[in-house]
């Protein structure tokens, strides 16, 4: 299973942070098809979020065809095609642009931003 983190200081809404992290894990293969996800209530509790916030993330993932909800049987990862290297590069560039925007907002130099990224990779 993956670890989802929500940054309360981020300009990105919590539901989008959850959705993005789960979508990435699914499309990159970290979550295999058929993997059962935590219930909305459990994940909301674990992350300290309102259940409606997690439910919104799950609805968006279901609309994108990445997860399937089976009522009482729970929510599972759908069978999806894995990301091509080209799409991976594209998504990595988008993530870098978001990070750069946030680092700029914090008035961090490029060196400080890269150092923070390296430090995060070690943890």
The one-digit pLDDT tens for each residue of the chain (123 residues) are 689 999 999 888 999 999 999 998 988 888 999 999 999 999 999 999 999 999 999 999 999 889 999 988 899 999 876 656 677 778 888 888 999 999 999 999 999 999 988 887 775
**How many structural domains comprise the chain?**
2
DSSP-assigned letter for residue 73 = G
> Do 62 and 104 lie in a common domain?
no
18 and 67: one domain? Answer: yes
b/e string for 76-90 if b means 16 or more Cβ within 10 A? bbeebeebeeeeeee
Residue 36's domain comprises: 14-77
Report d(CA 58, CA 45) in Å as an integer.
15
Give a yes or no: residue 1 inside a domain. no
Q: Say if CB 78 and CB 33 are below 8 A apart.
A: yes
117 in any annotated domain: yes
In a domain, 4, yes or no: no
Question: Against a cut of 0.85, is the pTM above it?
Answer: no
For residue 69, being part of any structural domain is answered with: yes
Residue 36 lies in a domain: yes
Q: Is residue 35 part of a domain?
A: yes
């Amino acid at each position: 299973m993956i670890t989802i983190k929500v940054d309360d200081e981020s300009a990105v809404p919590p539901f989008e942070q959850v959705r993005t992290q789960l979508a990435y894990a699914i499309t990159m293969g970290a979550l295999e098809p058929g993997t059962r996800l935590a219930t909305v209530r459990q994940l909301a509790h674990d992350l300290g979020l309102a259940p409606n916030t997690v439910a919104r993330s799950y609805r968006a993932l279901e609309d994108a065809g990445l997860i399937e909800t089976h009522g009482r049987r729970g929510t599972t990862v759908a069978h999806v095609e894995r990301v091509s290297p080209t799409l991976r590069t594209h998504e990595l560039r988008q993530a870098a642009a978001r990070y750069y925007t946030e680092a700029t907002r914090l008035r961090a130099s490029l060196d400080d931003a890269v150092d923070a990224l390296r430090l995060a990779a070690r943890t």
